[in-house]
Structure 1
Amino acid sequence: MRRPIARRRMLTACLGLLVAGAAKADRSRQWRVAYVGSGRTAIAVPILREALRQLGYEEGKNLTLDVRAANGHYAILPDLLKEVVGLRPDVIVAEATPAVAAAQKATSTIPIVMSPASDPVGSGFVESFARPGGNITGVANMFGDTTTKTLDIIRLVLPNVKMIGVLISSNPTHRGLLEVAKQAAASMAIFAEGFVAPNPDDLERAFAEMKSANCDAVYVLADPVRPAIPGIALKSGLPTIYQVNTYVTDGGLMSYGPDVPGFFSLAARYVDRILKGGKPAEIPVEQPTKFLFEVNLRTAKGLGLTIPESVLLMADKVIE
C-alpha cells in the first residue's frame, strides 16, 4: 500500500533536520503558540500538546497554547486569525488549507506551520518544498496522489460500481481534487460527480442528493473531520470511503491515506525548530511516507456488504 515518490524520498531527510538541530529554545521564556483549526480540536490539539510537552514545552510553565477552531464553518476563520494575531504568538499552527489560507492573509511576519495543506505550492503558501521562501512551512498531505489507489479499492469492494459521488466542501483545494477524482474514475469507466456540503449542516442534503443520483458509493475528500458523516452515510445505505483515516474508528467504512494524527506530532517539531531560531523560509516542507488502508467490518455488516478476503489482506487495520 506504499507509493514511493521521488520527491518524497528526497524530502524525507528533512525530518532529520527537524529532530537534530543543535540549537536550544530558551526554556525559561514564556512562549506563545496559537493553534487555529479549520475543523474540530478533539484530535489535533491533544496530540500537539503532548508532542510539545515531550519537547520541553509545558503549559503553565513555559508555554501558552491559544486554541481557536472553526468547526467546519470556514467563513469565520478570518475573524479567528485576526483575534489570534492580536495575541502576538511566536508561532501559529494552522490546521488544513482553509486555516492556512486565512493565516497567510492575516500575517506575513508571524511564522505559520501548516498541519497539513493539500497543495502548498499551488495554493501559493510556499515557493517550493525544499525552500518555502516566506513565513510558512510545515506538512503537505499528498491526498491528491492517493486518489487512483482509493478508486481501485472501491472497485475491488464494489466490482459493479458505475457512479461515485464525491463529497466536497468549500475547502479551496476540493475543486482540484474533484477533477483528479473525475479523471481517475473515467480511466476506469466510472462516472464521478461532485456534491457540495459547504457546512456541516449541509451534509444530510448532500447525501440525499447522492442517493437520488443513484450513486453506488461515496468518496469523501480530505477535510477537517465532520463527525456526522459516518452516521449519515450508514443511514443512507451508501458505502463510503474516506481520505482521512480517523473516520473509520468513528464508524466510517474504509479509508486510504496518510496517517493524519501523525501530522500534528510533526507540527510540534516544526514549532520547536522555529522557537530555536529556525526561519520558516529555510525549513523544508515535509511529506508523509506512511499510508494506511483501514476497514470497519461492523459498518460493512450494517450496509450488507461483504468485504473480499483479498481486500482485507491489504488492510493495515481492520475493525471487527
Structure 2
Amino acid sequence: MKRREFIFLVMGAAIGCPIMAMAQQSKTVRVGMLNPSFAVQKPLDAFRKQLGDLGYIEGKNLIIDYRTAEGHFERLPQLVKELVALRPDVLVAIATPAIAAAQRATSTIPIVMSPSTDPIGSGFIKSFAHPGGNITGVANMYGDVMGKSVETLHELLPAAKTVAVLMSLNTTHPTQYELARAALQSFGTSVFPVVAPTPDDLPDAFHKMTDAHCDALFVLADPFRPTIASLAASSRIPAVYQYREFVDAGGLASYGANNVGMFKMAARYVDRILKGASPSETPVEQPTKFELIVNLKTAKALGLTVPPSILARADEVIE
C-alpha cells in the first residue's frame, strides 16, 4: 500500500469514529410509558429532565408514547398492546399493575419498572442482582418500611382505635395488607380492610369507613388516585400514605421513598439499556432515602395537633 493511501485510510478512520458516534447520538429512540392510574406531574417531569440531562430531547432524538388507564386496570392490556405496536426501544411501566401487563405483552422489548413493590414475589425478576429476563428497574421497598409508615400513623394519632386500610385490585395488596395489619395490631389497633377496585368505587369505600366509625385511614401504596385525599378531607378521616403526592394533594402525612428520585433512576435505566445494557444482567436498584412529609394545613382543618417529635423528624412540613 502506498504511503499516501495509508495516510488517507488512517485519517478516514479517525474522522469516521466521531461521525459514527454523532450518528448514534442523533438516532431517534422511542420510549413507551404505561401508567395504570392518573399522571403525577413532578415524577414525570423529573423523568423527562433526567433523560434530557443524558442527551435525549423530545422532538429531536426522543419520542415518548404515553398511555394511562386512569385507575381502570382492565384497560391496561389494550393500552400496552398499542404501545408494543409502536415498536418502542424501551417500555417504562409505572407500578405493579402496569409491569404485569407489560410482562404479558412482550418478552423481547426491555421493560423498566418505575417502581415495583415486590418484583421477585410478583414474578417480574429472578433476583435483584440478576433479573434474568427482559425486566429491570427500580423497587420501592414499601413493604420493608411498612412498620415505620404505620408507626408514623400511630404517633400522629395515638388515640385511634379503628384504622381503615384502603386497597385496590393491585396484586401486591393482599401481602402488603397483612404487613400493615400486623403493624397496626401491634399498637392495639383494630383494622378495617376496604377495597375500592376503581376510582368510581372510592366514594362508597369512604361511606363504609364512616359507617364503621374508623378513626383514621392508612392507604397502601398504589398508583395515584387523586380523589382519595379530597374524600378523606370531606369525610374528616385523617389519612396517612406511603408517598408524598397524596400529601401535596391535601393528605395529612406520608412516609416512604421519594417518587421523583425513583423516576430519575428509571430514566438512567432507559439510558443504560439504549446504550446496550441487557435487562437480564442489570441489577434492580432500591431507594436509599425515605422521607416524612406532614401537611399542617390539613392537620389544622381536622383539629389535630402534630406532635413535636414528628415535626422534628419531618423532611418537609407543608404550612
- Structure 1 length-normalised TM: 0.90
Distance 1:183 1:24 in 2: 56
Q: Which amino acid aligns with 1:29?
A: K
C-alpha root-mean-square deviation of aligned residues, in Å? Answer: 1.4
Task: Show the 5 A alignment for 1:41-190.
Answer: 41-43=39-41, 44-190=43-189
CA shift, 1:232, in A, is 0.7
Q: Is contact 2:219-2:240 (8 Å) kept?
A: yes
User: Where does residue 29 of structure 2 map in the other structure?
Assistant: 31
Query: CA shift at 1:46, angstroms?
Result: 2.2
Question: Secondary structure of the residue that 2:44 maps to in structure 1?
Answer: helix
Displacement of 1:28 in angstroms is: 2.1
Structure 2 equivalent of residue 317 of structure 1: 316
Residue 192 of structure 1 is matched in structure 2 by 191
2:96 is matched by which residue type in structure 1? T
Contact 2:115–2:140 (CA under 8 A) maintained in structure 1: yes
Give the Cα–Cα distance (whole angstroms) in 2 for the partners of residues 306 and 136 of structure 1: 45
Report the alpha carbon displacement of residue 25 of structure 1 after superposing the two structures with TM. Answer: 9.5
Letter aligned with residue 132 of structure 1: P
4+ runs deviating over 6 angstroms: none
Q: Larger radius of gyration, structure 1 or 2? A: 2
2:57 maps to a residue whose letter is E
AA of the residue aligned to 1:304: G
Are the counterparts in 2 of residues 104 and 125 from structure 1 also a CA contact under 8 Å?
Answer: yes
1:237-276 alignment runs, 5 A limit = 237-276=236-275
| Higher relative contact order (CA closer than 8 Å, sequence separation 6+) | 1
**Could you tell me how far apart the structure 1 residues matched to 2:302 and 2:255 are?**
19
- Structure 2, unpaired ranges of 5+: 1-20
SS of equivalent residue, structure 2 residue 145: helix
CA contact (8 A) 1:25 1:275 kept: no
CA distance in structure 2 between the aligned counterparts of 1:232 and 1:148, rounded to whole angstroms: 25
Q: Which moved more, 1:247-256 or 1:184-193?
A: 184-193
Matching of residues 285-296 of structure 1 within 5 Å:
285-296=284-295
SS at match of 1:144: coil
1: CA distance between counterparts of 2:227 and 2:52?
31
Gapped runs of 5+ residues in structure 1?
1-22
Amino acid at match of 2:115: P
Aligned 8 A contact 1:197 1:206 in 2: yes
Q: Encode CA deviations 1:176-226: one digit per residue, 9 max, x unaligned.
A: 100111111122221222101111111111111111112111001111111
Q: How many residues align?
A: 298
